[in-house]
């Protein structure tokens, strides 16, 4: 350990960095292969090197994956399913986040007899495996007339998400001194005006965390999507699966790869845009008065 | 206008009683201090007056109106919290005007009120800042400003100064007293600091274990305590408590190898009580250095072996043993210094004209 370099680095440190770089490359290599493959044509994939950059980059695979690839018997690409996912995710994220915020606000600041028990019971919802509720939920959706509909999927995701969103908001709001609520009560504010005037304005970090979490969960969901959707209401994850499993002629790896990236793009985008809040929100619990 | 009647108020959390049958009548414009050790129920009592906690039984009237079941906002009160509880996302202006906003006061009027109060509290230059950009003392002022904005019938102050440093605390204490003089609004003020209680209050209610031990003026509380708890809690350094035998209405005190018989004004009370032993309560300032021309009734010159001296600046505390109990006297710095040198046997002057007596077991006053 005494091999100190002139610039302050030593051998141990160099080893650490080398290891980090190695694993970073290892982790990013699948993404690299997916991206390069998606810009190659099928000839080059068959003949060329897996790791090589495309000789003649082409958008053919992307255009096909988006607009004309076959998913089962339809050949309209991923586009309709992308919009299905959007139509599921946006209401499901917003509704579950708002309910979670209100739940958390009540459980943290308006305690009542048994509120801690209720919170415990809600937490339990985080640990229920998806598979357990598949059958009862499908019966319920059928009875409600929501089977195979977008609204049905939204409802399932909202119900499943409430446990998590409540947990996030409750733990955030529990760190806020109850004197604030008391002061606002004395100032004449009611339940909702305290929420909107005092609590909402300081909730940006936790909203970002919850929205990222819920967006990722719901966008990436496959199981609920494949079970509860009809032919016209499938989310993009289900369509991607169908696209990859449908082969007319030979396997078009470049189209599969482009489709995979299209399906993953929105979650990536959400992380890039709001990622710094994510870390901030998870670590910074307390709001100092 | 802002009189408060607390009638038979009881409060329990589950099976734990926190307030036991509290009765207090606070006159309009009075400055009442609730004082007691932590956990005595003083904050709970204030919260019940504020309406932040329900009472288990009893009634609370503000200005002659029964408010027991009214929500906090309908009680016409304002409160200053120990933590200040300023809204962190609002600037100072909105913090002060929020109560008015919630009460649908027009914007123009709100701004006038804020400007007037900011002027009063000398925080006009801070109106656009967020609470996180303020110092402790400034936050305290803003919290006061928020309470003042609505011109309520009653102010409730819950240990408002306890987060300030010692110097600022004394300053703000003075300001609160001046403000009370100027506004004449009824104030209930919770503190555990007995000096704050003595300096600010018109009347003090001493609480312990959910019971009002004594309710009276600072003078009464200090000089005529209802029981040993009150006598011990109020005053710093604390009152001396010495177990003594009674002989013919006089108190026998042994110190420095000598027995003294203390004459007290309440001689007949002691005789009538039939007690053989009693706890003598004597404040440190009644034990001073001997001065030749100070001999009066109910005074005594004694010699004490001074074991410890604590200079406090203006005075020096001297510690010795009376009847094997540690006691403190308060002497001049010079006398304290001399006591240290003088083989520690020191002549002291004991004034028993304000001595009080307590039952050995119950701690109640012998009257």
Q: What is the pLDDT of residues B329-364, one digit of tens each?
A: 999 998 888 888 776 788 899 999 999 999 999 999
Q: Is the domain covering B4-233 a CATH 3.40.50.300 domain?
A: yes
Indicate the pLDDT class of residue A11, thresholds 50, 70 and 90: confident
Structure tokens at A81: 């399913």
Q: Mind telling me how many Å the CA of B99 is from chain A's nearest CA?
A: 4
Closest Cα in chain A to B75: A186
* Contact criterion met (CB < 8 Å) for A197 and B86: no
User: B185-221 burial string, b = 16+ CB within 10 Å, else e?
Assistant: bbbbbbbbbbebbbebbbbbbbbbebbbbbbbebeeb
Contact B168, B137 (CB under 8 A): yes
* Contact criterion met (CB < 8 Å) for A289 and B52: no
Spell out the domain ranges in chain A. 11-58, 79-251+261-283
What is the helix (H) or strand (E) element at residue B12, kind and residue range? strand B4-13
Give whole-number Cα distances, B12 to B47, B49, B70, B211, in Å: 13, 15, 19, 13
Closest Cα in chain A to B76: A186
Here the ipTM equals: 0.83
* Cis ω before B237 (30° cut-off from 0): yes
**Residues A63, A84: Cα–Cα separation, whole Å:** 19
By CB neighbour count within 10 A (0-12 exposed, 13-18 middle, 19+ buried), where does B61 fall?
A: middle
Number of Cβ atoms within 10 Å of the Cβ of B17: 16
* Contact criterion met (CB < 8 Å) for A185 and B72: yes
* Contact criterion met (CB < 8 Å) for A182 and B79: yes
* Contact criterion met (CB < 8 Å) for B86 and A289: yes
pLDDT > 70 in chain A, percent: 92
Of the partner residues A180, A182, A185, the one whose CB lies closest to the CB of residue B87 = A180
**Residues A153, A89: Cα–Cα separation, whole Å:** 9
- Interface residue ranges in chain B relative to chain A, Cβ cutoff 8 Å: 50, 52, 71-73, 77-79, 81-90, 98-99, 102-103, 131-132, 139, 146, 150
The architecture that CATH gives domain A79-251+261-283 is Orthogonal Bundle (1.10)
Long-range contact list for B252-259, CB < 8 A, 24+ apart?
B253/B280, B253/B302, B253/B322, B253/B323, B254/B322, B254/B323, B255/B302, B255/B303, B255/B304, B255/B305, B255/B320, B255/B321, B255/B322, B255/B323, B256/B302, B256/B303, B256/B304, B256/B305, B256/B320, B256/B345, B258/B302, B258/B303
Angle at B162 between CA B16 and CA B136, to 5 degrees: 130
For B260, phi and psi rounded to 5 degrees? -120, 150
pLDDT in tens, B291-313: 777 677 888 889 999 988 999 99
pLDDT in tens, B138-164: 999 999 999 999 889 999 999 999 888
**Residues B187, B169: Cα–Cα separation, whole Å:** 18
| Residue spans of chain B under pLDDT 70 | 1, 294, 343
For residue A6, pLDDT over 60 is answered with no
Closest Cα in chain A to B139: A289
Spell out the domain ranges in chain B. 4-233, 240-358
* Contact criterion met (CB < 8 Å) for A177 and B50: no
Structure tokens at A186: 């004395």
* Contact criterion met (CB < 8 Å) for B79 and A183: yes
């Amino acid at each position: 350990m005494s091999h100190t370099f002139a610039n302050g680095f030593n051998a141990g440190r160099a080893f650490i960095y080398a290891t980090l770089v190695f694993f970073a490359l290892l982790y990013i290599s699948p993404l690299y292969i997916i991206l390069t493959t998606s810009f190659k044509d099928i000839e080059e994939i068959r003949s060329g090197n897996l790791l090589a950059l495309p000789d003649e980059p082409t958008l053919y695979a992307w255009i096909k994956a988006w607009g004309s690839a076959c998913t089962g018997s339809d050949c309209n690409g991923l586009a309709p399913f992308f919009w299905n996912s959007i139509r599921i995710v946006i209401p499901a994220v917003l509704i579950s986040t708002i309910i979670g915020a209100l739940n958390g606000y009540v459980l943290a600041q308006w305690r009542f007899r048994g509120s801690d028990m209720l919170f415990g019971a809600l937490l339990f919802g985080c640990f229920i495996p998806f598979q357990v509720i598949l059958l009862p939920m499908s019966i319920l959706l059928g009875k409600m007339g929501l089977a195979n509909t977008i609204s049905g999927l939204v409802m399932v995701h909202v119900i499943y998400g409430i446990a998590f969103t409540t947990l996030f908001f409750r733990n955030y709001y529990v760190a806020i001194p109850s004197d604030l609520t008391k002061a606002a009560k004395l100032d004449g504010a009611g339940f909702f005006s305290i929420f909107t005037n005092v609590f909402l304005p300081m909730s940006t970090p936790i909203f970002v965390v919850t929205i990222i979490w819920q967006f990722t969960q719901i966008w990436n969901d496959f199981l609920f999507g494949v079970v509860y959707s009809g032919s016209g209401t499938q989310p993009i994850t289900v369509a991607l699966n169908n696209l990859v499993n449908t082969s007319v002629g030979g396997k078009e790896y470049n189209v599969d790869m482009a489709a995979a990236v299209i399906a993953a793009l929105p979650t990536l985008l959400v992380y890039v845009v709001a990622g710094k809040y994510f870390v901030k929100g998870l670590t910074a619990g307390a709001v100092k008065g | 206008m802002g009189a408060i009647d607390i009638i038979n108020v009881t409060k329990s959390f589950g099976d734990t009683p926190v307030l036991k049958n509290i009765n207090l009548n606070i006159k309009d414009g009075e400055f009442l201090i609730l004082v007691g050790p932590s956990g005595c129920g003083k904050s709970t009592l204030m919260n019940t007056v504020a309406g932040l906690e329900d009472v288990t039984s009893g009634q609370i009237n503000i200005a002659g109106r029964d408010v027991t079941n009214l929500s906090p906002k309908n009680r016409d009160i304002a409160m200053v919290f120990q933590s200040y509880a300023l809204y962190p996302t609002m600037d100072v202006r909105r913090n002060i005007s929020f109560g008015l906003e919630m009460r649908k006061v027009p914007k123009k009027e709100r701004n006038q009120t804020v400007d007037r109060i900011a002027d009063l509290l000398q925080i006009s230059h801070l109106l656009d800042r967020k609470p996180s950009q303020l110092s402790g003392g400034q936050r305290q002022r803003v919290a006061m400003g928020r309470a003042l904005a609505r011109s309520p019938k009653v102010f409730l102050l819950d240990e408002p100064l306890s987060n300030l440093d010692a110097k600022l605390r004394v300053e703000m204490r003075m300001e609160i007293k001046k403000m009370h003089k100027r506004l004449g609004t009824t104030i209930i003020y919770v503190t555990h600091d007995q000096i704050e209680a003595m300096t600010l209050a018109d009347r003090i209610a001493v609480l312990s274990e959910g019971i009002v031990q004594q309710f009276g003026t600072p003078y009464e509380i200090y000089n005529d305590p209802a029981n040993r708890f009150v006598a011990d809690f109020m005053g710093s350094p604390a009152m001396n408590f010495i177990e003594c035998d009674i002989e013919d209405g006089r108190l026998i005190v042994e110190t420095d190898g000598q027995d003294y018989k203390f004459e007290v004004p309440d001689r007949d009370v002691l005789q009538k009580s039939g007690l053989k032993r009693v706890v003598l309560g004597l404040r440190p300032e009644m034990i001073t250095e001997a001065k030749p021309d100070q001999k009066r009734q109910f005074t005594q010159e004694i010699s004490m072996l001074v074991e410890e001296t604590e200079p406090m600046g203006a005075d020096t505390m001297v510690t010795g043993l009376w009847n094997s109990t540690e006691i403190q006297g308060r002497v001049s710095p010079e006398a304290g210094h001399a006591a240290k040198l003088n083989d520690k046997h020191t002549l002291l002057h004991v004034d028993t004209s304000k001595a009080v007596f307590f039952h050995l077991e119950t701690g109640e006053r012998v009257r």
